[in-house]
């Protein structure tokens, strides 16, 4: 059977009104780290709102293979991790299978560098092409015995530290802004002799620093320099994983572009390194309220109320681009429904995501009769009337979900091809979309 005949399509027919209260799946970054830190902590960690996607399950299965007892996730996405402390891991019987998870392999490299056993990690064909030199270089400077294949890709192989051997603390200037590399070095720093520090060239997600603090491990943050001293302990705690703001953005845009109605999205992560989409949609005249702000597991969370709005085109601030990099496909749909022109620059990174997201969105918008002009680092979108047609998601989950919500302002059905991998990042997207008033079918 050919791929075309077996792949999933969405058919979204026009709908005018949205209403309801929803909770989106848990944040992926926080779900990964809650398993890792729970395993290395002393005592039992209870996690609620865990994201049971393939990537996070790869992290969970890796720690099970290293002797950690983990229960769940149950139907409510609760997970219990029975921690064994920083030195409680045991050698896995087989190489660790990391699947497609870049977060898992890079953060685990830092943890495994400090162990008294050796192991190796690899994943699927896509993961096995990703560069690992960016984490191996600083770990080798710390005295780790770690290597990848000759071209710098997985498998990543670590050798046991000797009985009297310990990693050495370093100061590392990150050559690129990468939360994964920063986190890898900090996690290795827990096993190092002295104080390890990392300086980053630009702001990156700070989930690792926040969660270390929640688990009682001291971290010092001075501007863009983060320091950690080896030899402290992690103490088990309860982690409530906030809803993923990337997933929430589709429903924020749906609520804003609908002809009438309102949507409340509960328990959304409001980490300041992730809220660019909220800033941009408010600047576009979106009626968007942040309510019930609170802290959960070291992370700020809140409920978001969005109401149908007359959006205006804007020039997007370049300072908001890194804080909204994953949310732009949905923001492009908001721009297509706004009056005037929305201009984005400084977003070259969008071209190297799961697809070239600038071109993929431009191609789809053009099919639906929205005028746009593509640039190397951005796009101009002139708001207009979305019509009907068939668009290709390029097998990119965010493109697929963005065109699904565009149907709220379309004159006819929007068919979206290649939607299979929506389920890996947002398993109940179709259910929630229909629950708030969209008309979305799968074929």
Active site residues: 326
Phi then psi for residue 206, to 5 deg, are -110, 30
Return the half-sphere exposure (C-beta side, CA atoms, 13 A cut-off) of residue 328.
34
- Whether the CB-CB separation of 156 and 121 falls below 8 Å is answered with yes
For 143-194, give the DSSP string. Answer: T--EE--TTS-SPEEE-PPPTT--EEP-EEE-SS--HHHHHHHHHHHTTEES
Could you give the CA distance from residue 419 to residue 399 in angstroms, rounded to a whole number?
9
- Whether the CB-CB separation of 287 and 256 falls below 8 Å is answered with yes
For 25-70, give the DSSP string. Answer: PBPHHHHHHHHHHHHHSEEEEEEES---SHHHHHHHHHHHHTT-EE
Could you give the CA distance from residue 387 to residue 224 in angstroms, rounded to a whole number?
46
Dihedral over Cα of 74, 80, 86, 88: its sign: negative
Quick one: tokens of 2?
Answer: 């050919």
Could you give the CA distance from residue 183 to residue 122 in angstroms, rounded to a whole number?
19
Quick one: tokens of 361?
Answer: 């969105």
Could you give the CA distance from residue 69 to residue 65 in angstroms, rounded to a whole number?
9
Return the half-sphere exposure (C-beta side, CA atoms, 13 A cut-off) of residue 304.
34
- Whether the CB-CB separation of 438 and 3 falls below 8 Å is answered with no
3 state DSSP class of 442: strand
């Amino acid at each position: 059977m050919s791929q075309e005949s077996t792949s999933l399509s969405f058919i979204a027919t026009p709908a005018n009104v949205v209403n309801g209260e929803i909770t989106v799946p848990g944040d992926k970054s926080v779900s990964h780290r809650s398993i890792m830190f729970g395993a290395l902590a002393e005592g039992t960690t209870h996690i609620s709102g865990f994201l049971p996607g393939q990537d996070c399950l790869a992290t969970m299965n890796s720690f099970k293979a290293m002797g950690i007892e983990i229960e769940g996730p149950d139907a409510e996405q609760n997970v219990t991790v029975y921690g064994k402390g920083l030195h409680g891991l045991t050698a896995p019987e087989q190489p660790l299978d990391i699947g497609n998870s870049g977060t898992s392999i890079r953060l685990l490299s830092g943890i495994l560098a400090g162990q008294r056993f050796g192991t190796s990690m690899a994943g699927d064909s896509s993961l096995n092409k990703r560069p690992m030199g960016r984490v191996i270089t600083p770990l080798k400077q710390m005295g780790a015995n770690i290597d990848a294949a000759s071209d710098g890709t997985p498998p990543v192989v670590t050798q046991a530290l000797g009985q009297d051997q310990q990693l050495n603390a370093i100061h590392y200037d990150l050559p690129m802004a990468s939360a994964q590399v920063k986190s890898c070095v900090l996690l290795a720093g827990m096993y190092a002799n002295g104080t390890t520090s990392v300086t980053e060239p630009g702001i990156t997600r700070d989930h690792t620093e926040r969660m270390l603090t929640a688990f009682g491990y001291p971290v010092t943050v001075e501007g863009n320099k983060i320091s950690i001293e080896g030899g402290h302990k992690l103490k088990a705690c309860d982690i409530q994983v906030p809803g993923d703001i990337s997933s929430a953005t589709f429903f924020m845009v749906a609520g804003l572009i609908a002809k009438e109605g309102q949507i409340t999205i509960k328990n959304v992560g409001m980490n300041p390194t992730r809220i660019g989409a909220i800033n941009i949609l408010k600047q576009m005249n979106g009626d968007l309220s942040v309510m019930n702000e609170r802290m959960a597991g070291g992370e700020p969370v809140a409920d978001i109320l969005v109401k149908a709005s007359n959006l205006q085109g804007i020039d997007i601030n370049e300072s908001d681009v890194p804080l909204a990099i994953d949310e732009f496909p949905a923001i492009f749909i908001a721009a297509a429904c706004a009056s005037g022109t929305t201009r984005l620059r400084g977003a070259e990174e969008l071209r190297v995501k799961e697809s070239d997201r600038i071109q993929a969105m431009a191609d789809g918008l053009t099919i639906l009769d929205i005028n746009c002009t593509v640039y190397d680092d951005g796009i101009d979108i002139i708001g207009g009337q979305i019509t009907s047609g068939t668009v290709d998601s390029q097998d990119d989950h965010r493109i697929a979900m963005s065109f699904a919500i565009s149907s709220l302002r379309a004159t006819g059905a929007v068919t979206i091809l290649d939607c299979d991998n929506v389920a890996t990042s947002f398993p109940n997207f179709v259910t929630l979309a229909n629950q708030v008033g969209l008309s979305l079918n799968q074929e």
